[in-house]
Amino acid sequence: MHNRKLILSLKDINSNKKGNIAAIFSLSNGYMGIQASDPITGANDVGTLVNGFFEYSPITYGEPAAFYPKNNQTIVSLPSLRKIRLLDENNHSFNFSELKNISLDLSNGQLTEVYEVSNQGGEKIEMTVASAIDQKKLAFYGIKFSFKPISYQGKLVVDKHYKIERKNNDGVGEVEDPRKTRLVKSISKHIISSDDFREVIKIETKESQQSVTIEGYSTSEKMLTKRALKTGFDITYIYKVSEGVKNKGVSIEQNSFDKIKEHSHKFWEDVWNQSEVTVSGNDEINLALHFNIFQLNQATGRDGKTNIAAKGLTGSGYEGHTFWDTEMYMLPYFIYTNPEFARNLLIYRYHTLTFARKRAKELGIKHGALFAWRSINGEETSAYYPASTAAYHINGDIAYAIGKYYEATDDDDFMEKYGFEILLETARFWREFGSWTEKGGKKQFEFLTVTGPDEYTAMVDNNYFTNRMAENNLKLAYTVGLRLAKSNQKVFDRLNSSESELREFHHIADNIYFPMNAQYQINAQDDSFFSKPVWPFNKTPKTKYPLLLHYHPLNIYRYQVNKQADTILADFLFPETITDSQLRREFEYYETITTHDSSLSRSIFSAVAARMGKVNHAYRYFTDTVRLDLTDLQGNTEDGLHLANLGGSWLDVVQGFAGMQVSSQGLLKIIPHLPAEWDSFQIRLAFKKRLLDIVIDKSQTQIVLLSGDPMEIVINQSQQTLTKIIKINN
Amino acid sequence: MHNRKLILSLKDINSNKKGNIAAIFSLSNGYMGIQASDPITGANDVGTLVNGFFEYSPITYGEPAAFYPKNNQTIVSLPSLRKIRLLDENNHSFNFSELKNISLDLSNGQLTEVYEVSNQGGEKIEMTVASAIDQKKLAFYGIKFSFKPISYQGKLVVDKHYKIERKNNDGVGEVEDPRKTRLVKSISKHIISSDDFREVIKIETKESQQSVTIEGYSTSEKMLTKRALKTGFDITYIYKVSEGVKNKGVSIEQNSFDKIKEHSHKFWEDVWNQSEVTVSGNDEINLALHFNIFQLNQATGRDGKTNIAAKGLTGSGYEGHTFWDTEMYMLPYFIYTNPEFARNLLIYRYHTLTFARKRAKELGIKHGALFAWRSINGEETSAYYPASTAAYHINGDIAYAIGKYYEATDDDDFMEKYGFEILLETARFWREFGSWTEKGGKKQFEFLTVTGPDEYTAMVDNNYFTNRMAENNLKLAYTVGLRLAKSNQKVFDRLNSSESELREFHHIADNIYFPMNAQYQINAQDDSFFSKPVWPFNKTPKTKYPLLLHYHPLNIYRYQVNKQADTILADFLFPETITDSQLRREFEYYETITTHDSSLSRSIFSAVAARMGKVNHAYRYFTDTVRLDLTDLQGNTEDGLHLANLGGSWLDVVQGFAGMQVSSQGLLKIIPHLPAEWDSFQIRLAFKKRLLDIVIDKSQTQIVLLSGDPMEIVINQSQQTLTKIIKINN
């Protein structure tokens, strides 16, 4: 860890909206998430979020049809672990609260807030809140309140008991989700036990039949304490949030706030050691990058049964659902810095295969699997199929990520137990879903009535991105399958596959049709894309963006207009498929018709521009990307951080400015493109059991092998053997 | 009126399900509809339906988007006018009722039912119910109950007062719609006045702010009568259902059951005189045809402000909405038998132009109008845009009907006041909605991301039917506009049109692209239709039809499979656009991939097959069509009759078997194709102020000019002058 400032505080963010602060300064550990909401007023508090803890509610359709998903899944807002009641000696509340400072130390995960709290009479005290989440024993969270007099010195009552609204005799109340997410009314909350130092409550969902127990423990004072303020005093609470068997062996007494902080510190040391990304010459961007990586790590489920929600555990936007965002925007970071996390995220997909097989059948595909477009538990829950179920590319996205993970780790154990089964079932899906047609005397394999990444174009034939992903998926199933067949025939048999099935995949992949636009000599987004007129951009005022909020879908769909990178994303993922000159034409064409109305767009344009050597151009996209939540660029950071975009900023630095790729021979390639605004930047990468440190400055690129065996590496097209250190002039 | 039996009774229908009987034996007059539900039990009673009387309720979307329609519109179930309570001398109800016979006289509109009614003790009386609806003073309905002893002769209490459930103090209750339609909870019902002979209630809708007053009047006995049954007695009631100003000048005392029956009789005499269709040699089909025409007339709004609901006024299926069914399947009957009715149906569309202009703007079209796909008042209310809003052809359908009406009537007054404005606004829509592209070196005009009539294919480019309808629409606006510009420049000016605008329409029409399939040499349903594989019919069990109930839309959309006639419907409407040999290939191709899952399909295949001379083939489709509701072929007649299909059976006889068309010179053409199963058939047609009687038998075709000036007519390709009678050997 270098010596630059790694503390995020109020002055580093552009908007002091309470909701933004709560989301940005969230603490989480992949299992549970706690927003930095005001402990006194609870304003903008979405409560405690537990990864994978959700409730069903029925989806109501304007006009239903066969095999539409029946149920919403909504992440549940559990009671806040931060809420506190303070009373003065007359039993009047300290109701008013003002945040004076907040700082999040990215090197150890400790959050410190200072509030000025006052009662109706205007008497004030200072409340400092120190908190940390356990990054080893994930059920634990610790919070310490320190009270000091400002203009009030009398007795202070501190009450940390839950107030559960009792609506009927059996003590079951309802918790309602806050605004901007679905109202879930079928949650019940019981106090299991309550004494002076400890309170245990249990929350149960009626429809999904999940339950979680929250145990609160005051380490020294009583949960309801009355003390003279005098010069001040502290109270520390530990919380344990247990879902199922997690951490069941560890009691609260075995943990402590100090241990929690220690676990947290150790975790972040390891993270930065593995995945440091440092920019010299721009502290603002350097801090933002660290923040992004910090939150990316915090958001990630680590148990193979949970994933990353679109907003992580920082807010309840998108109802806590996981999308393709994980595989396309976030997994690369983990694959190349923390393969164990990557592995667990992919195992999550493996655990959803049963739902995916069922969904394929519902779509008329007998053999194979179709993963959910949006879901918590893996069951499809999207209510608008033209931009979800039709986005069949999700299958290819997951397969692509498995291929990349395997390429970077050689993890045969993963492939045998989990990966190949996914590759096989998704390949089977493409085989049955696609169809052979004759085009210009040649039999070709096509994928019809699909939606690609660009959600401003729906239900078209032969989306280039989708076809490319399907090709990759089929070829991966072939190559990995053949390898397994030799090394571990048993695995191969268990899945009822055969060499002839694999050869069929390969034959199909070899004959997939890719639409080209003859006029511009570029890949066509789909069969009909270029017969549409270009969106009338010059007649569209700025207030009408994002288009989806201001135009009927049919209005958008009949024009050439992109919400986000689509063909360009394919070019990014498969650089070997396109020549430099075609890429240049393609980038230029699609850039002019892209609105970037999706937060997934700019990072890809940045990375591709950097690779093309258009570094200034890339840098402009990057600066929007890297501080998107800190500046509230999309205006909805209060609903939660844009996790995919956080990952996108890492992609830009590593796969854009450092030009990192893996060659078709499996060699790591670095092609540096240092932005003019930077003196230098440094990245760390894990690749095939090595840890590398790479520093790129204006004059040279230096690569140090921190651990692992010597390896071959390609720098600026020239292959080198890295034994300890390489320095090459740029 | 010929002398064949024209009474429909129980033995003429295949299913005695109470719901079917209630719908089939409905009485209505285009203004209000009264199902033949059991007056004692009220089973399957949807109550009184008033054309255009609806309530709004909010549409809930799984995932909303910009400019989705906000509100449902649901026809309101008003209180039954037939319900009656009978009590024995111990004040016990006669609760049980069995229908013994029912007969509907199609020659005068009188309905007679005989019930055996019993109390809990099993004592029985016979109740005969005679009823009729006024076809002149549309607010009126008369019903006469005749009671006779069977095994009970004691005192009989007859109560015809309404029982309004009083839910709160102000006497406002709720009426809930019955099953299979939306629940409308915002209806209030008040008793305005009630005395021994009369009761007046008022029903109001909260959201749509409509109200209707129902006045019940007992002509001799009190509304609550107690009489000894002895040998029997009768009671007659008159009802007046007034919405707004309708019939406000006529009091109940000025009308009577006899007058109502007289008005009804006179109306049906006129109908049959104008539109007799008689089949000799098959009484069953002859009766069914008469029934269809009877119900078609009953369903039709006559005031220019109401239209025909998909189920007429016989049931609340499809919520009482009007679709393209009116213009494509029902209007031809009125155009060629009762132009005044046709005119009023088209004026209804004119009155919805404000909504249509607004809708066009919502779809991004600044100048022009887009009519609602489904609506009661003209405001779009469909919740699934891929098979509604995307069905832009509704504009062309209405324009087509206006063209056909004008061709058959020369009604310049209509065209100047209403018709041209619709033609102009719809043409403007196509102009702005379509786009110029270059195909094979030629600039062509295309319509993108549309859905044609076939609802098993959605959001495609250049649907052949849609493009053909748009071409016709643009050309009509051009020719009619030019004519108006000469004869009545003022009308032309009022609409801010110009000759150059008209020439632009013509230029566009001349350059519209029509997709062809080169392999089969047939019109292609759309640009991508033939790149899809054919639906796996041989793997689809019969129980899986209709497909829409058993397969996800995306599953259906990616195959070549038709729910209904699409390109074939275009061929039917534009016979001059296709050669005999291409039509033969086209019919054969599309027939094999059509499921006829829509009730709008078979009638078109029948008519086209007849024209092609495949008379036996046509006849098979026709027999399914003509008795579809009497046999409950679709299994849902209880939700209401399939009005478009009723119209379709007339199309089959007149435009199929009689081969009636209008030539491009505006001449009536007859090309007879007598089905082998018939001895002969006779039709009556109104055309350009003439009334014709046409009889086609095995040896000859006879045409008699019943009224109007001599005219030129084409029979079997040979042009003749019809002065009084023509006989030509077949």
Q: Is residue B335 part of a domain?
A: no
Q: Is residue A371 part of a domain?
A: no
User: B67 vs A382: CB contact, 8 Å cut-off?
Assistant: no
**Mutation choice for B interface testing from A370, A382, A456, A459 by most B CBs within 10 A:** A459
Encode pLDDT of A337-357 as tens digits. 999 999 999 999 999 999 999
User: B555 vs A63: CB contact, 8 Å cut-off?
Assistant: no
- Can you give the pLDDT at residue A302? 96
Contacts of A553 in chain B (CB under 8 A): 65-66, 385
Q: How far is A385 from chain B (nearest CA, A)?
A: 8
Encode pLDDT of B274-300 as tens digits. 999 999 999 999 999 999 999 999 999
Nearest C-alpha in A relative to B436? A533
Contacts of A386 in chain B (CB under 8 A): 386, 459
The token duo for A399 is: 């397969």
Q: How does DSSP classify residue A655?
A: I
The token duo for A463 is: 């989306």
Q: Is residue B109 part of a domain?
A: yes
A391–B contact, CB cutoff 8 A: no
Domain boundary among A250, A279, A298: A250
> Which CATH number fits the domain that encloses residue A578?
1.50.10.10
A69: left (phi over 0), alpha (psi -120 to 50) or beta: beta
Encode pLDDT of A293-321 as tens digits. 999 999 999 999 999 999 999 999 999 99
* CB nearest to B383's CB, from A62, A384, A386: A62
Closest CA to B371 of B449, B425, B444, B295: B425
A518–B contact, CB cutoff 8 A: no
Partners of residue B662 on adjacent β-strands:
B668
Q: Is residue A660 part of a domain?
A: no
Closest CA to B139 of B214, B64, B44: B214
Q: Packing angle between helix A420-433 and helix A464-487, nearest 10 degrees?
A: 130
Closest CA to A468 of A407, A403, A387: A403
Contacts of A552 in chain B (CB under 8 A): 65-68, 362-364, 385, 389
Closest CA to A363 of A341, A344, A380: A380
- Can you give the pLDDT at residue A634? 85
B364–A contact, CB cutoff 8 A: yes
Contacts of A384 in chain B (CB under 8 A): 62-63, 65
User: B555 vs A363: CB contact, 8 Å cut-off?
Assistant: yes
Prediction ipTM score: 0.92
Instruction: Indicate the SS3 state at residue B535.
Output: coil
A533–B contact, CB cutoff 8 A: yes
User: B61 vs A363: CB contact, 8 Å cut-off?
Assistant: no
- Can you give the pLDDT at residue B170? 31
Q: Which long-range contacts (CB under 8 A, 24 or more apart) does B714-722 make?
A: B714/B663, B714/B667, B714/B668, B714/B669, B714/B670, B715/B669, B715/B670, B715/B671, B716/B670, B716/B671, B716/B672, B717/B671, B719/B667, B722/B692
Read off the pLDDT of each residue in A407-429 and give the average, rounded to a whole number.
97
A82 pLDDT band, cuts 50/70/90, is very high
Instruction: Indicate the SS3 state at residue A722.
Output: strand
Alpha carbons B219 and B299: distance in angstroms, whole number: 28
**Mutation choice for B interface testing from A67, A358, A558 by most B CBs within 10 A:** A558
A183 pLDDT band, cuts 50/70/90, is low
Percentage of chain A surpassing pLDDT 70? 95
Per-residue CA distances from A9 to A99, A104, A114 (Å) = 12, 6, 11
Contacts of B63 in chain A (CB under 8 A): 382-384
**Mutation choice for A interface testing from B57, B60, B63 by most A CBs within 10 A:** B63
Q: Which residue of the set B204, B327, B379, B455 is catalytic?
A: B455
Contacts of B436 in chain A (CB under 8 A): 533
Nearest C-alpha in B relative to A390? B554
Closest CA to B690 of B721, B651, B659: B721
Q: Is residue A85 part of a domain?
A: yes
User: A65 vs B527: CB contact, 8 Å cut-off?
Assistant: no
Encode pLDDT of A519-547 as tens digits. 999 999 999 999 999 999 999 999 999 99
Interface size A-B, in CB pairs within 8 Å, comes to 129
Contacts of B386 in chain A (CB under 8 A): 386, 459
How many other C-beta atoms can be found within 10 angstroms of the C-beta atom of residue A105? 18
User: A385 vs B554: CB contact, 8 Å cut-off?
Assistant: yes
Among A195-209, A611-625, B604-618, whose mean pLDDT is lowest? Answer: A195-209
Number of domains chain A contains: 2
Q: Has residue A174 got a pLDDT over 50?
A: no
- The parent domain of residue A194 ranges over 7-250
User: B68 vs A552: CB contact, 8 Å cut-off?
Assistant: yes
> Which CATH number fits the domain that encloses residue B35?
2.70.98.40
Q: Has residue A173 got a pLDDT over 60?
A: no
Domain boundary among A595, A630, A655: A595
User: A554 vs B385: CB contact, 8 Å cut-off?
Assistant: yes
Q: How far is A304 from chain B (nearest CA, A)?
A: 30
What is the spatial order of strands in the sheet that A711-715 belongs to? A661-662, A668-670, A711-715, A718-722
Domain boundary among A199, A230, A250: A250
- Can you give the pLDDT at residue A169? 30
**B 432-471 → A contacts, CB under 8 A:** 435-437, 446, 448-449, 458-459, 461
Looking from the CA of B377 toward its CB, the CA atoms found within 13 Å total: 15
Encode pLDDT of A436-495 as tens digits. 998 778 999 999 999 999 999 999 999 999 999 999 999 999 999 999 888 888 888 889
Q: How does DSSP classify residue B169?
A: T
Encode pLDDT of A542-555 as tens digits. 999 999 999 999 99
Q: Is residue B187 part of a domain?
A: yes
Q: How far is B17 from chain A (nearest CA, A)?
A: 27
Q: How far is A726 from chain B (nearest CA, A)?
A: 54
Contacts of B536 in chain A (CB under 8 A): none
Contacts of A319 in chain B (CB under 8 A): none
Alpha carbons B280 and A411: distance in angstroms, whole number: 82
Based on the residue annotation, tell me whether A455 is a catalytic residue of this protein: yes
Please classify residue A107 by burial: count the beta carbons closer than 10 Å to its beta carbon, then call 0-12 exposed, 13-18 middle and 19+ buried: middle
Partners of residue B421 on adjacent β-strands:
none
Do both A432 and A581 map to the same domain?
A: yes
Alpha carbons A498 and A485: distance in angstroms, whole number: 8
H or E stretch covering A205:
strand A198-205
Q: How far is A469 from chain B (nearest CA, A)?
A: 19
**B 602-631 → A contacts, CB under 8 A:** none
The β-bridge relationship of strands A516-517 and A711-715 is unpaired
- Can you give the pLDDT at residue B179? 31
> A194 or A655, which is more confident?
A655
Phi, psi of A92 (to 5 degrees): -95, 145
- Can you give the pLDDT at residue B168? 34
Do residues B133 and B215 make contact, with C-beta atoms less than 8 angstroms apart? no
Q: Is the dihedral of CA A248, A253, A259, A261 positive or negative?
A: positive
Return the percent helix, strand and coil in chain B, to nearest 5. 35, 25, 40
Q: How does DSSP classify residue B359?
A: H
User: Using only C-alpha atoms, what is the Rg of chain B?
Assistant: 27
B537–A contact, CB cutoff 8 A: no
Closest CA to A647 of A135, A293, A244, A306: A293
- Can you give the pLDDT at residue B184? 64
Residues of chain B with pLDDT under 50: 1, 3, 165-181
Q: Has residue A170 got a pLDDT over 80?
A: no
Contacts of B550 in chain A (CB under 8 A): 66
Q: Which residue of the set A113, A379, A425, A455 is catalytic?
A: A455
- Can you give the pLDDT at residue A42? 85
**Mutation choice for A interface testing from B365, B530, B554, B597 by most A CBs within 10 A:** B554
Q: Is residue B518 part of a domain?
A: no
Q: Is residue B688 part of a domain?
A: no
**A 223-282 → B contacts, CB under 8 A:** none
Alpha carbons A299 and A315: distance in angstroms, whole number: 11
* CB nearest to B435's CB, from A436, A461, A533: A533
User: B552 vs A527: CB contact, 8 Å cut-off?
Assistant: no
**Mutation choice for A interface testing from B429, B431, B449 by most A CBs within 10 A:** B449
The token duo for A601 is: 């767009």
Q: Identity (one letter) of the amino acid at B475?
A: K
Contacts of A362 in chain B (CB under 8 A): 552
* CB nearest to A385's CB, from B60, B531, B553: B553
